[in-house]
Structure 1
Amino acid sequence: MFKLMELEWRKLHTRKVMGEAVIYWVILMILPTIFLQFVFADAPNIPLGESYGAAMEIMLPIQMGFLLFGASLVNHVFIEEFKNRTMALSYGYPLSRRRLVMAKTMFIAGAVYLCSLISFVLAGITTYGFDLALDFIEGVPTAADLANYALRAVVHAAVVALASLIPLFWFGLWRRAVIPTVLCAIVLMQMQNFLGWFSITLNADLLYAIMSLLGLVSVYLSVKFVNKLGDL
């Protein structure tokens, strides 16, 4: 399975993919400081700068931006292969289609998870550095804050990885449509805001659990029905 995942990496335009990841890292490193220093600085009803523990509440949703990176990988790994007529060649490998799809899916999830985890580290370091210079968060990070952030980073990166697979079955394997895949990722990124517009209150952790479950369902359907979806 790992050899198949390595093969997927070699088939990609690695410079292009790594360039995308770097762009996301740079943007998501800076966004927490922008929100804490400028956007919510004069909003007393949103006391995100009162402590590092409170500031973390904005850093977690920001990392959902890597859902777009996941959508890009779904495009590279699945949709482009269908459009380039190379998926049929991949299906000619001496292994089952289900195993091949599972390897591709694990590659996407693993790449998104690793990149999200790195993004958490970079965002945390950058935010702390900017705070030392601009002093927009009260106090200093405690050992408990750091441990909590590390734990949430590990868990939340897994949420992002699983949620990035939600468009896989319907838009990736079935419809093979790039724009709807990206739009789906954007909607998922802003899901909490969309629910707020409709006055729907849903605990963030529950929402993330639902999104993770939907990602697993999408993977299950993709593997189960791959033999019925055709080569082209």
Structure 2
Amino acid sequence: MFKLMRLEWKKLKRLSVISEVIIYWLILMFMPVFFIKMVMPDFGQNYAAAIELNSFTQMGFILFGGSLINQVFIEEYKNKTISLSFGYPISRKKLFTAKVLFISLSVFLATFLSFIFTGLTTYLLDQVFPIINGQPTNSDIIAYFYSTITRSFIITLISFIPLFLFGILKRLTVPTVVCSIATMQLPNFSSFLHLEPNFIILVLCILGALSISLSIKTAESVGEI
């Protein structure tokens, strides 16, 4: 399985993917500080509030997942290179599983590192230009690392929502991107929907898991064109 995942990496436009991740990191590293300073100072009342803000800003990596779905699945169908992959002496389910695991690992690691970079940047900037009341407590640090792991997993799972319908059945790039943007922003509009953000995130996680399950389950029956 690891060899198949490594093969997926080799087939990617690696410079493009690395550049995309770096851009995400650079934007998200400064996003909490910018938001607290320019948009909603209430998130600067303490580090607990700033941690909550950061958890939502990192949802941007859902779009990175959509980008990988486009390269790993949709472009292979459009370029007909998927036929070569189907010629390997392995089942299509195993091939699709390797692709899903590759995307999962990529999104999880990119998000995890983004949490670390953003947390350090926010803390260091706050020491130079105080915008958050008080200093982080041990409880805040523990909560942040807990949030880093759980949110990275949640974001990875949600990023797969477009996979089955738009990535495998329809094979459409623009709807995949639009779907990723919509799911990324949906928790921010929870108040307009009169729903709790965590409830929306739970539903999105279920949809992501369902999309993965259907994608792998139907791998043998999905056509090549």
C-alpha displacement of 1:129: 1.2
Amino acid at match of 1:144: S
Cα distance in 2, alignment partners of residues 208 and 107 from structure 1: 23
How far apart in 1 are the matches of 2:7 and 2:188?
38
C-alpha RMSD over aligned residues: 1.0
Contiguous gaps of at least 5 residues in structure 1: 42-46
* Unmatched tracts of structure 2, length 5 or more: none
Structure 1 CA distance for aligned equivalents of residues 148 and 194 of structure 2: 24
Query: SS where residue 48 of structure 1 aligns?
Result: helix
Please say if 1:55 is aligned against 2:50: yes
Shift, 1:56, TM fit: 1.1
Q: Are the aligned partners of 2:66 and 2:162 in contact in 1 as well (CA < 8 Å)? A: yes
Using structure 1 for the length normalisation, give the TM-score. Answer: 0.94
Of all paired residues, the percent bearing the same amino acid is 43
Distance 1:40 1:115 in 2: 27
Amino acid at match of 1:187: A
Question: Do 2:188 and 2:197's aligned partners in 1 also have CA atoms closer than 8 Å?
Answer: no
Equivalent of 1:204, from 191, 197, 202?
197
> For 1:123-162, what aligned pairs fall within 5 Å after superposition?
123-162=118-157
1:44 corresponds to = none
Deviation per CA, 1:188-209: give whole Å up to 9, x if none.
011023443xx32322222222
Q: 1:3 & 1:227 partners in 2: Cα distance?
A: 21
Please give the per-residue CA displacement for 1:11-33, whole angstroms capped at 9, x wherever unaligned: 11111101100000000101111
2:78 corresponds to 1:83: yes
- Using the TM superposition, give the Cα deviation of residue 134 of structure 1 relative to its aligned residue in structure 2, in angstroms: 1.3
Please state how far the C-alpha of 1:5 moved relative to its aligned partner: 0.7
Residues of 2 paired with 1:182 and 1:79: CA distance?
12
Q: Are the aligned partners of 2:70 and 2:173 in contact in 1 as well (CA < 8 Å)?
A: yes
TM-score between both structures, scaled by the size of structure 2: 0.97
Further displaced range: 2-11 or 180-189:
2-11
Residue in 1 aligned with 2:175? 180
Q: Give distance in 1, aligned partners of 2:28 and 2:78.
A: 31
* Aligned pair partner of 1:106 in 59, 83, 101: 101
